[in-house]
């Protein structure tokens, strides 16, 4: 029996809990048919909710609570997953989602078929970047016993979570889903983890899984040139003291992601402005806005996150907005995880697993929000019934948040559909705009002056600091490192025609043994599965390719040109079905998901289960081993 807490504490825990996760965990642990027969949580009567909570309290106060939640048999796991959503799954959906609860030691890990073979002498994998994806790749190599080194250009692990320390930087998905499922039940302190905690988590994983001694900090890859005769990559790596080192690697995994290169706006007069111009990646604890007048350019995720804390301290804030965003509320955003909830994650077997799954499952059907319904449009709608309902709901939300101020509502309502751009979470941005010391400016910026910002209407607003929350140059994949493949082919020159392209976002023809994590068209446009999970899935794919080289005695693995082109044709065709590229009320010309050639660049347009089926296991018909 759990005697560490009293009954009132336990009751509060279940009042705060995700009762759907409680229900599934309880059914898994007890097999109680009465609990299993309960319908969807939202439809339960008060008496049914009390029944569920009473049974859960009885369970956690019993000796049975000491038994760990184990991986259910496959048919039982599928039954529980379908019970959680109330919807049956296809085999493809089940395979894509079965790792989300995280019952296995390392879901999506790859394994040697007949034990680890003897490796070729000096065999080594170079991983570029020690953010989430680089750590995922490192864990995969560590498990396989393949020698590797991780080059990180910063002095700490974390990637974007090391580079961005601006006020209120945090995840905008629940912490319990924004984590690797091979590191169980990390003790997050907030529902949506702040930057420092996420960076600390990545460091924790790197140390726990034995990666730390293989990371080379302050090491920036400058060039990677493939030696076709020897089947190795020759790397030139810059050091913080200005020197370079050179080494060979049998395979290279680029894990630099798409948010490695800050995008600075090209504004006339920048050099004349007398104050600091800061990209959020340049923000440090030394920057103080107290009593100062601050200009903020941008209202994407970063611009939204930092406005409220800046507005609380600054004398005056001018927010320069080019395009309105659909900014949505998120329950418990910015709130600490209550002690009762921390206890429940630790005390109830299976609750952490099913809380991950139920939090993710809410987005399983999100793909349909992005597909235009011609019949709905013909009847007078914008996109489709569900998307239009979100538009109605968010419009009402905006009006409430700004106290129905017509001057603000007119400036804040987008003329495009929700889901056309990356969703942004509201942390008090709309409310901040109603403060006396905050002004929303929608006139375009003409130039910077020595004292401030002049807009196209000729008005100059004097400021002390300008924050350019203008995002990242996401089309510069792998930049500025130079990759030279077979026959001297330069990767960036290959991509200059119509933007970066890759096979499954992972491989490019003519660049053997070179893989990318978060490469072109990698981020699934929908489906719910978090990016840390995808990093693990893709690392497993890469691991299988490297294993095939070693087990087969090959020195090279690469995708064929034909397979690469066929895949990208299918990708482009699928992308055309989505509102991201449609003309019906979208903002495609102002959307970082779409490149300058009008092509979907960042996202994979496929439904998530199908993309998982393609990118979790190699199709050897598409690859060449030699």
Burial of 25 (C-beta count, 10 Å sphere; 0-12/13-18/19+): buried
**Domain 270-332+383-468: homologous superfamily in CATH:** FAD/NAD(P)-binding domain (3.50.50.60)
The conformation of residue 460, written as its DSSP 8-state character, comes to E
User: Quick one: average pLDDT of 399-416?
Assistant: 96
Beta strands, E only, 363-492: 424-425, 438-441, 445-448, 452-455, 460-462, 465-468, 482-484
Peptide bond into 33 cis (omega under 30): no
The conformation of residue 152, written as its DSSP 8-state character, comes to -
DSSP calls for 201-250: HHHHHHHHTT-GGGEETTEEEEEEEEETTTTEEEEEEEETTS-EEEEEES
Query: Strand 452-455 relative to strand 445-448: parallel, antiparallel, unpaired?
Result: antiparallel
| pLDDT tier, 1 (very low <50, low <70, confident <90, very high otherwise) | very low
- Taking only the tens place, the pLDDT of each residue in 502-537 is 999 999 999 999 999 999 999 998 887 889 999 999
Q: What separation, in Å, do the N-terminal and C-terminal C-alpha atoms of the chain show?
A: 60
Average pLDDT, the chain: 94
Check pLDDT > 50 for residue 493: yes
| pLDDT tier, 587 (very low <50, low <70, confident <90, very high otherwise) | low
b/e burial code for range 582-603 (CB count within 10 A of at least 16 → b): beebbbbeebbbbbeeebbbbb
Domain boundaries, the chain: 7-106+341-361, 125-261+474-625, 270-332+383-468
- Taking only the tens place, the pLDDT of each residue in 466-475 is 999 998 888 8
Among 297, 321, 317, which residue's Cα sits nearest to residue 309?
317
C-alpha to C-alpha distance for 324 and 331, rounded to whole angstroms: 22
C-alpha to C-alpha distance for 201 and 552, rounded to whole angstroms: 37
- Taking only the tens place, the pLDDT of each residue in 605-617 is 999 999 999 999 9
Radius of gyration, CA atoms only, the chain? 25
- Topology match between the domains 125-261+474-625 and 270-332+383-468: yes
Check pLDDT > 70 for residue 2: no
Q: What's this model's pTM, rounded to 2 decimal places?
A: 0.95
| pLDDT tier, 592 (very low <50, low <70, confident <90, very high otherwise) | confident
C-alpha to C-alpha distance for 104 and 101, rounded to whole angstroms: 9
DSSP calls for 329-383: --TTTTPBPPHHHHHHHHHSTTHHHHHHHHHHHTTTTGGGGGB--HHHHHTT-SS
Among 249, 246, 226, which residue's Cα sits nearest to residue 236?
246
What is the structure's pLDDT at 537? 97
What is the structure's pLDDT at 586? 52
**Residue 551 burial (CB count, 10 A):** 13
The CATH topology of domain 125-261+474-625 is FAD/NAD(P)-binding domain (3.50.50)
Check pLDDT > 90 for residue 262: no
What is the structure's pLDDT at 590? 57
What is the structure's pLDDT at 581? 85
- Taking only the tens place, the pLDDT of each residue in 27-56 is 999 999 999 999 999 999 999 999 999 999
User: Quick one: average pLDDT of 137-150?
Assistant: 98
- Taking only the tens place, the pLDDT of each residue in 209-244 is 999 999 999 999 999 999 999 999 999 999 999 999
User: Quick one: average pLDDT of 386-414?
Assistant: 97
Full 3-state SS string of 241-274: CCCEEEEEECEEEECCCCCCCECCCCCCCHHHCC
557 vs 498: which has the higher pLDDT: 557
DSSP calls for 559-583: E-HHHHHHHHHHHHHHHTTBTTS-S
- Taking only the tens place, the pLDDT of each residue in 63-121 is 877 777 888 999 999 999 999 999 999 999 999 999 999 999 999 999 999 999 999 99
Is residue 184 within 8 A of residue 225, CB to CB? The reply is no
């Amino acid at each position: 029996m759990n005697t560490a807490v009293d009954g009132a504490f336990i009751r509060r825990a279940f009042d705060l809990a995700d009762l759907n996760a409680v229900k599934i965990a309880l059914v898994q642990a007890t097999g109680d048919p009465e609990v299993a027969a309960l319908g969807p949580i939202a439809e339960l009567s008060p008496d049914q909710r009390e029944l569920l909570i009473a049974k859960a309290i009885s369970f956690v106060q019993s000796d049975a609570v000491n038994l760990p939640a184990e991986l259910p048999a496959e048919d039982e796991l599928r039954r529980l997953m379908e019970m959680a959503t109330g919807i049956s799954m296809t085999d493809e959906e089940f395979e894509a989602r079965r790792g989300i609860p995280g019952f296995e030691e390392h879901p999506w890990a790859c394994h040697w078929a007949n034990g680890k073979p003897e490796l070729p002498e000096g065999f080594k994998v170079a991983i570029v970047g020690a953010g989430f994806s680089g750590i995922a790749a490192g864990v995969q190599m560590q498990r396989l016993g393949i020698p590797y080194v991780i080059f990180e250009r910063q002095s700490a692990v974390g990637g974007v979570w090391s580079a961005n320390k601006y006020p209120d930087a945090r995840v905008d998905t629940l912490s319990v889903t924004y984590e690797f499922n091979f590191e169980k039940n990390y003790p997050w302190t907030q529902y949506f983890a702040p930057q420092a905690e996420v960076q600390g988590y990545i460091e924790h994983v790197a140390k726990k899984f034995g990666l730390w001694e293989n990371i080379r900090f302050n090491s920036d890859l400058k060039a990677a040139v493939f030696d076709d005769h020897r089947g190795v990559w020759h790397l030139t790596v810059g050091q913080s003291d200005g020197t370079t080192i050179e080494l060979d690697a049998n395979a290279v995994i680029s894990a630099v992601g798409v948010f490695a290169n800050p995008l600075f706006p090209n504004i006339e007069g920048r050099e004349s402005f007398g104050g600091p111009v800061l990209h959020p990646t340049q923000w440090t604890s030394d920057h103080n806005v107290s009593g100062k007048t601050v200009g903020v350019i941008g209202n994407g995720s970063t611009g939204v996150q930092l406005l409220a804390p800046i507005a609380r301290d600054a004398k005056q804030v001018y927010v320069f907005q080019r395009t309105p965003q659909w900014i949505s509320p998120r329950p418990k955003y910015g709130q600490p995880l209550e002690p009762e909830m921390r206890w429940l994650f630790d005390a109830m077997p299976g609750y952490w697993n099913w809380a991950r799954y139920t939090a993710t499952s809410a987005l399983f059907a999100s793909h349909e929000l992005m597909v235009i319904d011609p019949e709905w449009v013909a009847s007078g709608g914008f996109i489709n019934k569900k998307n239009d309902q979100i538009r109605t709901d968010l419009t009402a939300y905006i009006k409430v948040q700004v106290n129905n101020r017509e001057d603000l509502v007119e400036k804040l309502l987008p003329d495009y559909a929700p889901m056309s751009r990356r969703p942004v979470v509201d942390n008090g941005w709309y409310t901040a705009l109603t403060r006396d010391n905050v002004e929303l400016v929608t006139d375009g910026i003409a130039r910077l002056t020595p004292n401030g910002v002049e807009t196209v209407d000729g008005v100059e607003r004097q400021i002390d600091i300008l924050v350019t929350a203008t995002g990242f140059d996401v089309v510069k994949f792998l930049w500025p490192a130079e990759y030279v493949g077979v026959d001297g082919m330069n990767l960036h020159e290959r991509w200059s025609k119509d933007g970066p392209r890759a096979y499954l976002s992972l491989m490019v023809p003519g660049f053997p043994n070179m893989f990318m994590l978060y490469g072109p068209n990698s981020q699934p446009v929908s489906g719910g599965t978090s990016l840390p999970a995808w990093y693990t899935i893709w690392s497993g794919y890469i691991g299988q390719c490297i294993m095939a080289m070693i087990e087969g005695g090959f020195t090279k693995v690469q995708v064929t040109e034909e397979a690469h082109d066929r895949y990208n044709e299918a990708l482009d065709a699928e992308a055309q079905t989505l509102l991201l590229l449609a003309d019906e009320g979208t903002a495609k010309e102002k959307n970082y998901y779409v490149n300058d050639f009008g092509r979907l660049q960042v996202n994979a347009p496929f439904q998530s289960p199908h993309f998982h089926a393609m990118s979790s296991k190699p199709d050897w018909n598409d690859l060449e081993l030699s």
